[in-house]
Structure 1
Amino acid sequence: MISLNAIIQRFGASYRTHCHGRLSVQQRRVISAIAACRTETLGGQVFTCPTCQTTRYSYHSCRNRHCPTCQQDAGAAWLADQQALLLPVPYFLVTFTVPAELRPIALTNQALLYAAMFRASAAALQQLAADPRHLGGQLGMLGIFQTWTRDLRYHPHIHYLIPGVGRTTDERIVFPPAPDFLLPVRPLAMIFRAKLRAALRQTAIAATIPSTAWEHDWVIDCRPVGTGETALKYLAPYIFRVAMSNNRIVSADETQVTFRYRHSASGENRTSTLPVETFLDRFVAHILPKGFVKVRYYGFFRTGVRASLRRIRAQLMLFRSHDLLDRAIPQPKLSAQTHQLSTCPACGSLMHGRQIVSSRTRAPPHGMHHPRSA
């Protein structure tokens, strides 16, 4: 299988040299990390079979959050950890986007715009939810930032996973007017636009934003996504998926890369073929600023108020004739860094392992083959 790691190992050095001026320090670091993932550069372990003397190498992973090889198992571990947040109510997925005029500004000012989008969208949700004409209480929200479309174009947006229940200031619980309705999206979009505009007016980039960005309607999507368990399973891939997964890459040669994607409007599976440099340009546009937190908790989901979440769950139990909270998703926590080769591929005997050091101090014996990435 052709992987993103293999493409970057093949073209990353020349791409970094040719495009050095337009790459951030963080983008150059990520390219280097993915190129080194599961190679002798990071060291690893060597396994030797005492029966037939077969030797295999297992190199360490880069653990970078933008590496598709390292992130493929992380979603299962996160999913298992979220069981404590589940509530027995319908859940909603609310998606905030910004208009096309703001996207070039966001691309060149990522840390500023991304943080402002989070603050404005979360505040807009809570403000509208607090209005007694709609819900009349505080929401619990799990927010996930994402920057790509299925064909790898730049499109920053935020998904919020929200249970259909609110908490009032006097600790009562309130519900939306219908199981398939949370909040009206038109006023929500207006509040979000106003809050983001006010925030950006206080920054140095205010003068660079076209006035047309604020003159038309903004788009927000709000849809029911079933139970908490269903919603978490749906959302887990969004949290740990990177812009390009390995299984989507169809082919790559010296000049171009072809990958598959699902067309949003038609639902059809399609392919896109891009020059190598354009493909890498699109990928690096989705590398997040260093230290940026892409998953955030708000309202009664915040870590410091989990006691309130327990009270809300207890109150909900009074409204239910049976317990929907006793859920368990048996997903093992896996780590790419601790991947082991314990059985000899030649004779089936148990192999003996020992640590090997990074190639910065000592390279593996000449002529040994790299193991295939999982």
Structure 2
Amino acid sequence: MIEIADIFKKHGSSYLSKYSAGMLPSHIKAFDDILKCRTPIMGGKVYYCPDCKRYQYSYHSCGNRNCPKCQNDKADLWLEKNNNLLLPVNHFMITFTLPKELRSFARSNQKLFYNLLFKCSSKSIEKLSADPKYIGGKPGMIGILHTWSRTLVYHPHVHYIVTGGGISEDKSKWNKSRSNFLLPVKALSVIFRAKFRDALRKANPIIYDAIPSSVWSISWVVNSIPVGRGKKALKYLAQYVFRIAIPIGTGSNNRIISLKNGVVIFKYKNSKTKLWEIMELEVEEFIRRFLQHVLPSGFVKVRYYGLFAVKNRTLLAEIRDVLGCGYNGKKLLPKTNKPKVFKCPVCKKEMVVVIVIPRPSRRFNKAPPKMNSSFDNQIFNRCA
């Protein structure tokens, strides 16, 4: 199986020698982290099975949110942590997409445009939801930013999971939406476009003046689909939260078919035909497309609005009472994640940690300290 790290290892030096001077620090960091992830330079732990007398070495992960290897376990942890948001109602996925005419501006001003994308789309949902003709209340929303299409081209959009209904203004009643319809997407599109136009003009008049005026008269794409109730809806969202530009196994690297003669061949599902198709890209173009989806350092790509906003968690508990869930505030606290158990590959019993080799110091870019004792070296050699 070809991994992103394999492509970086084989062609990364050439790519960096040509383009590193113009690369963003966040791109270089992601590149470096993916190369080092789960390799000896990251350090790790040595596990021992008392029954089989067997040692097993496990390298540390890099933890970078753009690394395919580091996303597999995060969806389950996120689901457990956010289980307290579940409501026994229908949910919908609403997606807002920036028009292609704005994408070059967004690429050059990422934090500005991504923040406006979140702000204006969430406000559009809230505005229309407040209308008694549709819901007449405040819904709960979780938004996730994505910047890619299935062929890795730049395509910024935000997905929302939205509750099928909302709490009334006096907080005494839950106003339920229809089972297969939440809000009219054409109206959402018009409101979203107007809010984005006004917000951009206020935030940066220079950029606003550089944008063709025709952008503000074309249709902006907004989609809405029902995604089920409660936990089913949250699971649906989880697959979006930790997805990366070229999705691994049950999540990404299996989409990459081959790397040969400087060409990456990968598969993608055509959004119109729903059929798998093949794409070939020169390796430098593949790396460029992958790295352009690395978000600015520290940027929050998952955001909570309406009833799901942190400030409304107490209100959310009250809504559970309105809906007859019977949950109290204590039950709304996230569960404590238990340490991951490492099991022996032979007898399947729990192994114990006998040696810990710390991660490298990111501050000074140092490798893990060398093992001093002959015992440590002996064990490490048996596991390597």
TM-score (norm 2): 0.84
In the comparison of the two structures, how many residue pairs are matched?
Answer: 358
**Counterpart-to-counterpart distance in 2, 1:115 and 1:355:** 41
- Please give the secondary structure, in 2, of the residue aligned with 1:19: helix
Alpha carbons of structure 1 residues 369 and 18: separation in structure 2 relative to 1, 3 Å: farther
Amino acid of the residue matched to residue 245 of structure 2? Answer: A
The alpha-carbon distance between structure 1 residues 159 and 73, as it changes in their structure 2 partners (threshold 3 A), is same
- Residue 70 of structure 1 corresponds to 70
| Larger relative contact order, structure 1 or 2 (CA cutoff 8 Å, min sep 6) | 1
- Residues 1:3 and 2:6 are matched in the alignment: no
**Contact 1:76-1:333 at 8 Å conserved across structures:** no
Does residue 291 (structure 1) correspond to residue 292 (structure 2)? The answer is: no
Mapped contact 2:144–2:158 kept (Cα < 8 A)? yes
**Does 1:163 pair with 2:170?**
no
How far does residue 58 in structure 1 lie from its aligned partner after superposition? 2.2
2:234 matched residue in structure 1: 232
Q: Which residue of 1 aligns with 2:266?
A: 259
| Distance of aligned partners of 1:60 and 1:111 in 2 relative to their CA distance in 1, 3 Å threshold | same
Q: Pick closer, same or farther for the CA change 1:186–1:349 going to 2, 3 Å.
A: closer
Q: Please give the per-residue CA displacement for 1:87-133, whole angstroms capped at 9, x wherever unaligned.
A: 11111111101111011111111111000100001111111111223
SS at match of 2:124: helix
Partner residue of 2:117? 117
Deviation at 1:134, TM superposition (A): 2.4
Q: Name the structure 2 match of 1:217.
A: 219
Letter in 1 for 2:63: R
- CA-to-aligned-CA distance 1:318-358 (integer Å, 9 cap, x gap): 9xxx99xxxxxxx99688xx684x63779x99687312354
- Structure 2 spans left out of the alignment, 5+ residues: 247-251, 328-334, 361-365, 372-376
Report the secondary structure of 2:178's partner residue.
coil
Q: Is the 8 A contact 1:136 1:174 kept in 2?
A: no
- In structure 1, distance between residues paired with 2:50 and 2:87: 53
Q: Does the CA-based 8 Å contact 1:54-1:344 persist in structure 2?
A: no
Q: Which amino acid aligns with 1:132?
A: P
- Give the Å deviation of 1:188: 1.0
Question: Residue 182 of structure 1 aligns with which residue?
Answer: 182
Return the letter of the residue paired with 1:116. Answer: L
Are the aligned partners of 1:103 and 1:156 in contact in 2 as well (CA < 8 Å)?
Answer: yes
Q: Provide the rounded CA distance (Å) in 1 between the counterparts of 2:350 and 2:134.
A: 66
Percent identity among equivalent residues? 41
Cα distance in 1 between the residues matched to 2:193 and 2:368:
54
- Contact 2:27 2:294 (C-alpha < 8 Å) held by counterparts: yes
Contact 1:9 1:36 in 2 (8 A): no
1:354 alignment partner in structure 2: 355
Contact 1:43 1:60 in 2 (8 A): yes
Structure 1 unaligned runs (5+)?
A: 324-330
Q: Does the residue aligned with 2:82 lie in a helix, a strand or coil? A: helix
Q: Match of 1:217, SS? A: coil
Task: Tell me the C-alpha RMSD between the 2 structures.
Answer: 3.1
Q: Conserved in 2, the CA contact under 8 Å of 1:12 and 1:32?
A: no
Structure 2 partner of 1:147: 147
Deviates more, 1:37-46 or 1:74-83: 37-46
CA distance in 2, matches of 1:298, 1:27: 29
Query: Any idea what the Cα deviations from partners look like across 1:149-189, whole Å, max 9, x if unmatched?
Result: 12212111111101112122211334355221111111111
Aligned pair in 2 of structure 1 residues 8, 311: CA closer, same or farther (>3 Å)? same
Task: Indicate whether 1:250 and 2:257 are aligned.
Answer: yes
Give the aligned partner of residue 317 of structure 2: 310
Q: Distance in 2 between matches of 1:239 and 1:309?
A: 22
Shift of 1:211: 2.1
The structure-2 alpha-carbon separation of the partners of 1:50 and 1:17, relative to structure 1 and needing over 3 Å to count, comes to: farther
**Structure-2 residue corresponding to 1:271:** 278
Q: Which amino acid in structure 2 is aligned with residue 312 of structure 1?
A: I
1:253 is displaced (CA, Å) by 2.7
CA positional deviation for 1:254: 4.4
